[in-house]
Structure 1
């Protein structure tokens, strides 16, 4: 027996665990994710005021839900909060090409793509709506022991 919840019948249409982003400009974010990450738009459900009550895209086969900010209900976007503590991570076949595509679509580089000690070519960017995205391509396999040793070297022996 497992402590994991069972997937609902929606699982054939959606990922069992999906980020649900609150965005100031959710409809524009859908358009950005299509351009930047090759997202497939799945749904847009605007409310009477035109703001999205529900939006949904599929990125790299995974569902990302979106909703417009609604302060009345405590749904605050990164712009209202002064940033987001969450980073969405996307493994891609060619990180340099994917990164360039996202930047061309309007993302801002927060960490340029570079080879990392854990074996990925990796970079971080911020989308125009305040959400942080890390993109990576594995370029070499690194064991946990090798990663710990490399981190200890980088931090002067202070790695866990």
Structure 2
């Protein structure tokens, strides 16, 4: 079993186009804290970054077709859209609304406005400027 004292057992690894801009967006939109940042040798791209947000960790890197022989580690912008949504569980319906408003103010697009759902949760989705979908979810207070 892995040692999870330093890192959670599962870490999404997001490929983006424009790594430095992505880090700035995640800081502004989600309050992300950068715990590691490794620039690429070309001085332009981001080789690796670890960010802490919403109580978890996400790894971020730019596209590197020269290091991925199959050429299939692509950003959603290059691939033509996202293949997953990142679900963020929050504490309250108000937290969902606030997270979506903050993300939109930072440049995200709301693709599903927050609403009260049949599964008794407040739920909505945004598309970040780098092509990744983030879903925000919180249980509704008991009526």
TM-score by length of 2: 0.88
1:12-27 alignment, distance < 5 Å: 12-27=5-20
Structure 2, unaligned runs of 5 or more: none
CA distance in 2, matches of 1:40, 1:13: 15
How far has the Cα of 1:140 moved from its partner?
Answer: 4.2
CA distance in 2, matches of 1:85, 1:47: 25
1:74-153 alignment, distance < 5 Å: 74=71, 75-93=73-91, 94-140=95-141
Of Structure 1 and Structure 2, which has the larger fraction of its residues in helix? Answer: 1
CA distance in 2, matches of 1:69, 1:77: 7
CA distance in 2, matches of 1:67, 1:13: 20
CA distance in 2, matches of 1:31, 1:92: 22
Moved more, 76-85 or 65-74: 65-74
CA distance in 2, matches of 1:38, 1:64: 13
Q: What is the CA RMSD across the aligned residues, in angstroms?
A: 1.2
Contact 1:40 1:58 in 2 (8 A): yes
Give CA-to-partner distance per residue, 1:130-151, whole Å, 9 cap, x none: 000001221146xxxxxxxxxx
Counterpart in the other structure of 1:45? 38
TM-score by length of 1: 0.79
Counterpart in the other structure of 1:154? none
The alignment partner of 1:97 has SS state of helix
The alignment partner of 1:125 has SS state of strand
How far has the Cα of 1:91 moved from its partner?
Answer: 1.5
How far has the Cα of 1:12 moved from its partner?
Answer: 2.0
How far has the Cα of 1:16 moved from its partner?
Answer: 1.1
Aligned positions, number: 134
